[in-house]
Amino acid sequence: MTEHSISNSEIKDLVSQGLEAASAAATSAALQDVRVAYLGKSGRLAAHPYFQTIKDANPEQKKIIGADRTAATTALNAAIDARKAELEVAELNARLASEFTDVTLPATPALRGSIHPITQVTEELIAIFADFGFSVAEGPEIEDDFHNFSALNIPESHPARQMHDTFYLKGDGKEPFPVLRTHTSPVQVRTMVSQKPPIRIIAPGTTYRSDSDMTHTPMFHQIEGLVIEKNVHMGHLKGLLHDALAAFFGLEKLPMRFRASFFPFTEPSAEVDIGCKRGKDALVIGEGSDWLEVAGCGMVHPNVLKNCGLDPTEWQGFAFGCGIERLAMLKYNIPDLRTMFAGDVRWLKHYGFNALDIPSLIKGVAA
Ligand code: DAH
């Protein structure tokens, strides 16, 4: 479309006044007033006598007046829109500048919080496993019998249930009662029934057992791992756990052994020990001739695959689970489990981590 130049000089003046007013508007609100004043229903353009003459004009004049009207409206709209964009950027920048908070400034000591070692270790493990291509899966802390037990090949009255000191909930009064999950393994089930394999997940989370002594608290944390593929075996499992644990402890090589064991949901099953030296004052990981148990693992039992709708002749996989408190105590020399949940600020000050120190493999999670 070729541009129409406005034929009426009064309208020309009106438009140039409007353009000036638009560029002089210092705020979005002032600019909106300009828009209403010039382009509103009874604004200066609509109310101008020249445009009123259109009613009585001949077809030729009507065309010119109409084109003048369009050209005037277009010019004013364009100028106002352009100014609007400018003002919005300026206003946003002003707002960003005035609302800026430097989160790296030190807080007053009384207000400074810290990251609990459990959270720190969880984040470290997530960073390590993310590097192996694992994503994080979650499940509820209140579980049903199917996910916590029966799908995991732990049928009712099976002695394996006694391995777990379960907290039962009332639910709707009917058996089987819901439970506070006794391990993170139910997340395996939830993942397999909801996702198509191949699967590669870890599931860190809170778990509960009715157990309380020097080395047990009723609430604790585990991290679960699950890999489902067509051709994975114990060798992959061992290699993965070695590399992950070595990275966690900041060691190139970590003496590690699999000890045959039993879990209902894996076959074969193993417990994972890492090499250590028990010194007089401290425990040294990665040296010496002692062993320390850190995880349970194995090949996913065919019954578990079946219970989750997978064909065990097509899919196989491995799983592992370990206690996060245990790993935190070993890595950060925390001697007493129960202090972890005492909520003592002095303890947190000593063992806590800086909230801005987010674990990452680049920086090293073993600092
Ligand atoms: N769920 C087990 C427990 O709480 C730990 C465990 C062992 C998890 C072996 C696994 C596994 O995934 O393969 O004692």
Q: At what angle do helices 324-332 and 117-131 cross, to 10 degrees?
A: 100
Distance from residue 269's CA to the centre of ligand 1 (Å): 9
Give the SS3 label for residue 318: strand
| Assigned domain for 108 exists | no
Mutate to test the pocket of ligand 1, among 184, 228, 237, 320 (most ligand atoms within 8 A of CB): 320
Answer with the one of 98, 124, 154 that is the final residue of a domain.
98
pLDDT tier at 115, thresholds 50, 70, 90 = very high
- pLDDT above 70 coverage of the chain, percent: 98
Domain range spanning residue 321?
A: 114-354
| Assigned domain for 104 exists | no
Check residue 307 and give its pLDDT: 98
- Which ligand 1 atom minimizes the distance to the CA of 222? 4
- Which ligand 1 atom minimizes the distance to the CA of 300? 13
pLDDT tier at 366, thresholds 50, 70, 90 = low
| Assigned domain for 367 exists | no
The first and second tokens of residue 145, run together, are 């019998």
Q: What is the DSSP letter of 205?
A: E
Q: Rounded CA gap, 98 and 310, in Å?
A: 56
- Which ligand 1 atom minimizes the distance to the CA of 188? 12
Question: 96 pLDDT exceeds 70?
Answer: yes
Distance from residue 294's CA to the centre of ligand 1 (Å): 11
Residue 197: closest CA among 320, 314, 319, 321: 314
**Same domain assignment for residues 125 and 92:** no
Which parts of 100-151 fold into alpha helices (H)? 117-131, 145-148
Check residue 1 and give its pLDDT: 46
**Same domain assignment for residues 213 and 262:** yes
| Assigned domain for 153 exists | yes
The first and second tokens of residue 23, run together, are 């560029």
**Same domain assignment for residues 71 and 120:** no
- pLDDT tens-digit map of 27-50: 999 999 999 999 999 999 999 999
| Assigned domain for 141 exists | yes
**Same domain assignment for residues 90 and 122:** no
Question: 103 pLDDT exceeds 90?
Answer: no
The first and second tokens of residue 86, run together, are 């400018």
pLDDT tier at 2, thresholds 50, 70, 90 = low
**Same domain assignment for residues 17 and 120:** no
Answer with the one of 98, 124, 155 that is the final residue of a domain.
98
Distance from residue 186's CA to the centre of ligand 1 (Å): 10
Q: Rounded CA gap, 226 and 264, in Å?
A: 15
Question: 78 pLDDT exceeds 80?
Answer: yes
Question: 262 pLDDT exceeds 80?
Answer: yes
Q: How many residues appear in the chain?
A: 367
| Assigned domain for 31 exists | yes
Query: Is the minimum distance from the CB of 224 to ligand 1 under 6 angstroms?
Result: yes
CATH code, domain carrying 266: 3.30.930.10
Q: How many domains does the chain have?
A: 2
**Same domain assignment for residues 180 and 81:** no
Mean pLDDT, residues 310-323: 98
Contact between residue 318 and residue 244 where contact means Cβ atoms under 8 Å apart: no
Answer with the one of 98, 129, 153 that is the final residue of a domain.
98
- pLDDT tens-digit map of 214-252: 889 999 999 999 999 999 999 999 999 999 999 999 999
Query: Is the minimum distance from the CB of 317 to ligand 1 under 6 angstroms?
Result: no
The first and second tokens of residue 30, run together, are 């002032």
Check residue 162 and give its pLDDT: 74
| Assigned domain for 105 exists | no
Mutate to test the pocket of ligand 1, among 166, 185, 299 (most ligand atoms within 8 A of CB): 185
**Same domain assignment for residues 32 and 173:** no
**Same domain assignment for residues 48 and 151:** no
Check residue 362 and give its pLDDT: 77
Ligand 1, atom 12, lies closest to the CA of: 320
Q: At what angle do helices 9-24 and 28-39 cross, to 10 degrees?
A: 170
**Same domain assignment for residues 166 and 257:** yes
**Same domain assignment for residues 143 and 23:** no
- Which ligand 1 atom minimizes the distance to the CA of 183? 4
* Run of H or E including 72: helix 59-99
| Assigned domain for 77 exists | yes
Check residue 10 and give its pLDDT: 93
The first and second tokens of residue 114, run together, are 């810290």
Q: Rounded CA gap, 101 and 149, in Å?
A: 49
The first and second tokens of residue 143, run together, are 């579980």
Check residue 4 and give its pLDDT: 80
pLDDT tier at 99, thresholds 50, 70, 90 = very high
Chain mean pLDDT for the chain: 93
Q: Model's pTM, two decimal places?
A: 0.72
Ligand 1, atom 8, lies closest to the CA of: 321
**Same domain assignment for residues 89 and 120:** no
**Same domain assignment for residues 57 and 156:** no
Question: 110 pLDDT exceeds 70?
Answer: no
